[in-house]
Amino acid sequence: MLAPTSTMADDENGHDGLAEGPEDDQPMSFFDHLTELRSRLMRAVGSVALGFAVCYAMVDQLTQLLLKPYRDAWWRVVDADMASLGYSRLPDTGPQLQNLTAFESVLTDISIALIGALFIAAPIIFYQIWMFISPGLYKREKRLVVPFAGTSALMFAAGAVFCFYLVLPVATEYLLTYPLNKDMGGEDAKEAVRIIANYTYTDYIKYTTRLLLGFGLMFQFPLGVFFLAKAGIITHKTLLRHWKIMIVSFFIIGAFLTPPEPVSQVLMALPMCGLFFASIGIAYLVGKPERERMAKLDAELAGMADEDEDD
């Protein structure tokens, strides 16, 4: 009687190559998955709650940070506007944002603290997400969970930094100058109505945090492609075949994640296009060892077939 044999992949991935559960290498039932999901959610929510407490205690400092792009853009616009009128001295008063209701400032502070908590808790949140996914992975893929969680958090932060220093200054200055350049009614002062930028505090914070979160999530794309390519789900050829659809999709996603104006949409869609083509290179490099292995296997099979024909 012949003893059952096992391949290296089976030894590495578990019996019959199936992914196994985290405890005692046993398959997980539906209710086990629900229990695991509840546990991961509780830990993620707990980390966000702790981060919220920290951020709310320093909400004034966070607000100053978020207001910096607006303040800098406002002074650039005023400087250019005054220079065009022949004035060299800037006004004594700085930029202003309105509160339209009594509790608007309180609710906005809570929103700022919550967004800050998401950034602080990002490493824990991404770790919990990857740990929840890990029971469905092969053993060789489970080894990547911790590096993936850390890289996800770093890419999330990198997206926010990219947005804060490169996108927000341009987008905010556009929003400030666009209405300032509209004089309705012609040159007659009695008929002219000048449309000026007079934004609210809440609208600006929503606009800023929406862009920061959108870019943070956008920078997860290459990591997702790396994981899918590593798992053999997609290849660089798959991405190349659908590049036109992906480009259109990025502009649609940009329209959803950004305020309803074209500059922010384009400023988000263009980096997404760049990340997409970079991801094609990532998928190519990740799939290269597998392609070489398959080419070697095909050559061996072809050699065996030639030997059989000679016999």
pLDDT tens for each residue of 108-157: 999 999 999 999 998 899 888 888 877 766 676 677 777 888 888 899 99
Which residue(s) pair with 200 in the sheet? 98
What's the token pair of residue 31? Answer: 């209710």
Can you give 271-310 as a three-state secondary structure string?
HHHHHHHHHHHHHHHHHHHHHHHHHHHHHHHHHHHHHHHH
Closest C-alpha to 272, from 216, 207, 205, 208: 216
Considering only 86-90, 91-95, 258-262, 288-292, which range has the smallest mean pLDDT? 86-90
pLDDT of residue 87: 57
**Apex 270 CA angle, 287 and 285, nearest 5:** 10
Query: Which 3 state secondary structure label does DSSP give 195?
Result: strand
Residue 218 has pLDDT above 50, yes or no: yes
For 40-80, write each residue's pLDDT tens digit. 999 999 999 999 999 999 999 999 999 999 998 888 887 77
Question: For residue 193, what are the β-bridge partners?
Answer: 184
pTM: 0.75
What average pLDDT does the segment 10-29 reach? 48
- The percentage of residues in the chain with a pLDDT greater than 90, rounded to a whole number, is 23
Between the ranges 19-28, 211-220, 227-236, 302-311, where is the mean pLDDT highest?
A: 211-220
What average pLDDT does range 149-170 have in this prediction? 90
pLDDT score recorded for residue 11 = 46
Residue 51: the pLDDT is: 94
Least confident piece of the model among 87-91, 196-200, 217-221: 87-91
Q: Rounded CA gap, 5 and 68, in Å?
A: 65
Angle between helices 262-310 and 201-218 (to 10 degrees): 10
CA end-to-end span of the chain: 30
Give the model's confidence band at 4: pLDDT under 50 very low, under 70 low, under 90 confident, else very high.
very low
| 177-187 tens-digit pLDDT | 776 555 555 56
3-state SS assignment for residue 102: coil
> What are the structure tokens assigned to 153, written together?
């958090």
| Per-residue model confidence (pLDDT) at position 91 | 60
Q: What is the DSSP string of 3-45?
A: PP---HHHHHH-GGG----SSTT----HHHHHHHHHHHHHHHH
Q: 18-33: b or e for each residue (b if 16 or more CB lie within 10 Å)? A: ebbbeeeeeebeeeee
Whether 24 has a pLDDT exceeding 80, the answer reads no
Across residues 192-202, what is the average pLDDT?
75
Most trustworthy range by pLDDT among 59-68, 97-106, 185-194, 195-204: 59-68
**Which pLDDT band, with edges at 50, 70 and 90, does 197 fall under?**
low
d(CA 160, CA 213): 7
User: According to the model, what pLDDT value does residue 302 have?
Assistant: 64
Q: Is the pLDDT reported for residue 298 higher than 70?
A: no
Average pLDDT value over all residues in the chain? 78
